[in-house]
Chain A
């Protein structure tokens, strides 16, 4: 099955700094890589995703990059704000479900200090 490794497990930054979270995956046939944000006590929600036919995607202060050769993708948050504090999960499709389900990384707790 797909193996998704996520680093770091915790990340503390000052407001206004940038934050980068990295994930690696094992199945070279995977072609969809979403990122979910989960605020404390809330449900996970999709914030951005990328497909294998592009190398980078941006949405305001967040961006995701994909390196298919190296099998890793990263989430970049610029000009961080306290409301960015949350747990972030990367994911990749599970090949042993016909790619109809996702395997999630173990999460990164991001803390943005004012």
Chain B
């Protein structure tokens, strides 16, 4: 059974940093691209960042480019999101999502970890 478990969320002051983690199990982690997707309170889903299986290609939404860094450790079956210079508008539930290998869709999602940026 595929499982994606996010952690690392919490309350953080504007301008500070936070690192999210996603522990994956139930599939061959290093065969698949992985993504972070977020949902701000009362808003829709927003794609944040994606990384290919070998970290060879990485992309970010314009809203986080230059502040967030996605990475993965295939030996640990883990995905990460380093979030720097956090802003109030980064407040959201952050989901880890596994991409299907052939059709570019999010086949499995975690339950999310909540990040609140506030002073």
> Do the two chains bind?
no
> Interface on B for A, CB 8 Å cutoff?
none
> Interface on A for B, CB 8 Å cutoff?
none
